[in-house]
Amino acid sequence: MSIIYGTTNTKGTGGASNLTTENGTEIDLSAIDVSSVGSGEWTIDSGLVTVDSYNDGSRVHTQYTTIANTGEWNDDGVKELYIDSDNIDAIDTDYHNITIENFVDVSIHLDTEVQDEFIDGGPTSNNITVVDAKRGDIDLGDHATYNDLTIISHSNGDSWSNLFTVNGSDSISDKVTFTTEGSAYEDTGSEYTEFVVDLNGGNDIFTYAIDAAVSDDMTRSVDGGDGTDTLVLDADSSDLNFSNFEVITSDSDDEFTVTLSEDILVSNSSSDDPLTITNLNIDFADDYQSISATQNVDDDSSELYTVTVEYDDGSYTFITDNIDQDWITS
């Protein structure tokens, strides 16, 4: 595993992806006794950056690793962190839990197979949590490993970039979450957060749970890609551009609204498998010609309705458990 920290972006250009051993500080993991991985613990202090790794015994074959900037957020010399999966022996267990704390800019590249062993016939997993980053570039790679990525975003304003780019794996199911829960800051500044997420293949889950965008021209875009993908809205979606999702839902007790438009329906429709929306209010961002709903009669879906929305140049159908009574035609 390569871990490099530093600051390359001093004039609004460059970033964590540009870190190398020449322009940053590499943390040397070669001295770690890999025979203790999965059962023991170790710590490396490198300037203001600490890497702490342990197994607390609560789960077999699991290593918990935290990479933290122990100085002030945005301090010169520790603004950026680069990680790749080369030489990962120091934390090479079946279940990786990696937490990255207090860096402005984070670049993660799982470009080699992190783990190629299986336990009880099931694949291994990477759980990665990025805490209080302003921007980042994250590639989850393509390997026989489930990926669970949580980004807890933090920003000090709209100066410089607030953009995260995330690429999911081509075949394995990924779970990606943008949230403010767990931030060290009461004012997270997540209203400035932007992202472009491509989940690629697999049955992926994307959770949206950050503050509403501060302006209409901000970029917040997620593509579910191939597979049966689920969008979890724990915030209103009026500022979110999403495509290639088959299920939209919320797991919150609060009421949130999914905003539909013809473009959204085109991008998330299938005649063979209609879009399903549950536990959400529904609003429309554009004018449609007509809308109608019929109650499903199947025993397993008696509380669901099939809704048809007519536009000038197309008709779109989705299934939902929450309708306006004026939509009902039968």
* Confidence (pLDDT) at 59: 59
d(CA 13, CA 233): 33
d(CA 164, CA 25): 23
> How is residue 115 annotated by DSSP?
-
* Confidence (pLDDT) at 225: 93
Partners of residue 308 on adjacent β-strands:
292, 317
Question: Whole-model pTM?
Answer: 0.92
Give CA 282 to chain center in angstroms.
Answer: 23
First to last CA, the chain: 60
Q: Which portions of the chain are predicted below pLDDT 50?
A: 113-122
> Do β-strands 80-84 and 2-6 pair in parallel, antiparallel, or remain unpaired?
antiparallel
Q: Which two tokens stand for residue 34?
A: 């890999």
Taking 3-state DSSP, the helix, strand and coil percentages for the chain, each rounded to the nearest 5, stand at 10, 40, 50
Contact indicator for 276, 246 with CB cutoff of 8 Å: yes
